[in-house]
């Protein structure tokens, strides 16, 4: 199975390979292409969250690039940001979606470690700026009822940041 190198190469992140001239760069490029494709494909959990926020008539902004980590969703009135994390890429603890590919285990390990580090850094930076950071995991968006309850809790109890009563 493993020996069908050609199609394998195209379809997978195969880096065990041939001592090569320049193959590494190529592989790297391919890898990041594939990754960004995967990442962008994962917009569905995010839209589930957005739909719920809409339903709750909360006002939010998307991908604010002026904030650390450009959070997926920002609710300025609550001084709250939401990250919707893919369980695989962001390593949801104890989640069955957070598998580790057998191929290139070392590469993935490092990749994941960087992701986790980066995520932690974002949270730190945002909290330092006075934002509350909420992380919603992809698998949580599959249980809409629980997610709804969670969001209700966050935004009902959380209360808006003071505001002077003006509108």
**Footprint on this chain of Zn ion (rule: CB under 5 A):** 87, 92, 95, 97, 137, 139
Instruction: Provide the minimum distance between the beta carbon of 148 and Zn ion in the complex, in angstroms, as a whole number.
Output: 17
Instruction: Provide the minimum distance between the beta carbon of 89 and Zn ion in the complex, in angstroms, as a whole number.
Output: 11
Other CB atoms closer than 10 Å to residue 81's CB: what's the count? 28
Instruction: Provide the minimum distance between the beta carbon of 141 and Zn ion in the complex, in angstroms, as a whole number.
Output: 9
Query: Residue 98 or residue 126: which is nearer to Zn ion going by CB?
Result: 98
Query: Residue 97 or residue 111: which is nearer to Zn ion going by CB?
Result: 97
Query: Residue 92 or residue 122: which is nearer to Zn ion going by CB?
Result: 92
Contact status, residue 48 vs residue 144, Cβ threshold 8 Å: yes
**What distance in Å separates the CA atoms of residue 87 and residue 95, rounded to the nearest whole number?**
7
Taking Cα atoms as reference points, which of 82, 19, 20, 15 lies closest to residue 47? 82
Instruction: Provide the minimum distance between the beta carbon of 23 and Zn ion in the complex, in angstroms, as a whole number.
Output: 34
CA distances for 28 relative to 14, 23, 24, 31, 32, angstroms: 10, 8, 6, 5, 6
Query: Residue 27 or residue 87: which is nearer to Zn ion going by CB?
Result: 87
């Amino acid at each position: 199975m493993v020996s069908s190198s050609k199609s394998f190469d195209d379809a997978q992140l195969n880096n065990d390979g041939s001592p090569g001239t320049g193959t590494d760069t190529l592989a790297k490029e391919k890898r990041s292409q594939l990754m960004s494709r995967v990442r962008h494909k994962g917009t569905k959990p995010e839209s589930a969250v957005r739909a719920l926020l809409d339903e709750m008539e909360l006002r939010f902004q998307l991908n604010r690039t002026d904030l650390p980590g450009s959070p997926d969703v920002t609710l300025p009135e609550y001084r709250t940001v939401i990250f919707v994390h893919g369980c695989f890429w962001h390593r949801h603890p104890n989640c069955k979606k957070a598998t580790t590919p057998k191929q290139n285990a070392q590469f993935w390990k490092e990749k994941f470690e960087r992701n986790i580090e980066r995520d932690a850094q974002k949270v730190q930076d945002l909290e330092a700026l006075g934002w509350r950071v909420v992380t919603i995991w992809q698998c949580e968006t599959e249980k809409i009822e629980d997610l709804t309850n969670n969001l209700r809790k966050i935004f009902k109890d959380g209360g808006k940041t003071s505001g002077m009563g003006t509108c």
